Amino acid sequence: MVIKRTAAPIPTPFGVTLKHWRTTRRLSQLALASRAGTPPRHVSFLETGRARPSQDMVLRLAHALDVPLAERNRMLTAAGFAPAYAERPLTDVALAEVRFVLDRLLHGHEPYPALVLDAWYTVLEANGAAQQLLPPPMPGEPVERPNLIELLLGPYQQLIVNWREVLRDTRQRMQHAASTRTGDARFLDLLQRVDSAAGPFEAGAHPRTESPVLLTQLRTPEGVINTLSTFVYFGSARDVTVEGMHVELMYPADAAADRYFRR
C-alpha cells in the first residue's frame, strides 16, 4: 500500500506579510481573528498559504492590526489586488482642506518657525521664520526641497549646540516608526544613516537635567537660544500622503529665545 504525502502549503507573499504584522502587534491568531470577525482557522490558513483572502478580508485584517495606509496598499498588492488608498501630492485639489489647515498652522505660528514634513522628512512647506533656518539654494543648482534629516546630518551639526543629543532623540523616534514601515526602503536608509552618525548607545549618554523635555539649543549671532518642538499629525487620514505628514512647530523655551525670534 502506497501512502501519498500531501506537500506542505507554501506561504504566499500575503501570508508572510500577515504573519509579520500579527507578530509585530504581538497578537495570537485567536486574538486577531476575534478583532477581524473571522475564524482563527481562517487566519491560520491565510498565513500558511492554504487559503487566499478576499479584498474585504485584507482590509479587515489590516484595520484590526492598525496597519499604516501605505502598508495596507502593500498588503493588498501582495494579495493580488490594486491599492485602495490614494497617495496624492499636497497640491492636489482633493487636499484643499488639508492645505487650508496647514496654512493656518504655519502663518498662525509666526514669528516662530513651523515646517510641514512628509513621511521621509522632506520639507513640503515652511513659514517665514522657518525659511530663515533653511540653507539658501546654491546658485546655478536646481532648486530641491530640503530634507530635515539631510540637514541634521550636514550643516545643522554646526547650528545645534547639543547636536548628538538631538540626533539620538531623532533616531529613537525613527526607530519607533520603523516597525510599521518595514517595506519603506527610503525611510530605512535614512534611519541607517542616522543610526550610524549617532553611534552606539552608551550608558550615561543621557545627562541628568532638570528639564522635563529635550531642548534644542541653537547658535545665533546673539548667543545660544533654547527651543522646544511639538509635532502635529492628522487624525483619521484616508490618504497616504496626509497620514505620513506631520507639522513641526518650534517654540522659544525662554524669554531670550522669544525676544530673538520676535526681532
Domain limits, the chain: 13-78, 93-262
What is the phi/psi pair of residue 214, to 5°? -80, 125
d(CA 224, CA 232): 26
Tell me which fold the domain 93-262 belongs to: Beta-Lactamase (3.30.450)
User: Which residues, in sequence order, are bridge partners of residue 220?
Assistant: 223
What is the tens place of the pLDDT at every residue in 88-127?
999 999 999 999 999 999 999 999 999 999 999 999 999 9
d(CA 191, CA 3): 53
d(CA 142, CA 2): 72
pLDDT for residue 50? 94
What is the phi/psi pair of residue 113, to 5°? -70, 145
Tell me which fold the domain 13-78 belongs to: 434 Repressor (Amino-terminal Domain) (1.10.260)
pLDDT: is 188 or 141 the higher one? 188
pLDDT for residue 199? 87
pLDDT for residue 8? 66
Give DSSP secondary structure letters for 149-198.
Answer: HHHHHTTHHHHBTTHHHHHHHHHHHHHHHHTT-TT-HHHHHHHHHHHHHH
Tell me how crowded residue 250 is: count the other CB atoms within 10 A of its CB. 21
Task: Flag the least confident range among 3-17, 164-178, 238-252.
Answer: 3-17
Helix (H) or strand (E) holding 251: strand 246-252
Tell me the C-alpha to C-alpha distance, in Å, between residue 236 and each of 97, 115, 184, 240: 14, 21, 21, 11
pLDDT for residue 16? 95
